[in-house]
Amino acid sequence: MHRLIKLGCARADMQSIIKCRVVSKEKLFERLSALQAKGHVIQLFDADAVIDELHLNAAYENALRTFDEGTNISRNVAVEMLLFAAFTTQIGEAVKLAGFRDGSGVLFSAGRNGAKLLGKLVVPSGELEPGQNHEAIKRYGMEKVSPEKIDLEILTKMAESRLGP
């Protein structure tokens, strides 16, 4: 059983998470905006900002929950997901921490066809590697957390990011 399902994230099997290389950043952002406007949940993250699959799956689940409960900060699920992935309520800060920059990224799509929807603007470069991304762990100040507790820390930081000061 997938560890995310054990944690209560039921939609884990309906998502696609792939590493990719971006061909044209400007055209890609135009296409992402158009797809999001049509209701597609698709988001591109900085490859060094994604800890593991749970990180993005939990951000997606939390984003959906805010829309269900009417507590969302942003107007679309993909941006709300970025907020949760960056553990913040500030969109500018989320973009700086977890938003795609240049080169390689991690593409999240609710559904299995995210890369196909973007056509030749992204070139898949593999699956997200099992284990944890140490660059991302350092970025979010979790380097003192033991590896077996990182997933719990991810979920805790996401919850705490919405509790406020």
Beta bridge partners of 17: 108
Which secondary structure element, helix H or strand E, spans residue 135, and what is its range? helix 134-139
Using DSSP, state whether 1 is helix, strand or coil. coil
Q: Tell me: the pLDDT tens digits for 46-58?
A: 999 999 999 999 9
Q: Tell me: the pLDDT tens digits for 59-77?
A: 999 999 999 999 999 999 9
Q: Which pLDDT does position 164 carry in this prediction?
A: 67
Scanning the structure block, which residue is given the tokens 């597609």? 40
DSSP 8-class letter at 12: G
Which among 93, 100, 89, 86 has a CA at the least distance from the CA of 31?
100
Q: Is the pTM of this model over 0.85?
A: yes
State whether CATH 3.40.720.10 applies to domain 3-161: no
Q: Which pLDDT does position 165 carry in this prediction?
A: 61
The Cα–Cα gap between 136 and 139 comes to 5
85 compared with 11, residue with greater pLDDT? 85
Q: Tell me: the pLDDT tens digits for 120-154?
A: 888 888 777 767 899 999 999 999 999 999 999 99
Domain boundaries, the chain: 3-161
Number of C-beta neighbours around residue 148 at 10 A: 7
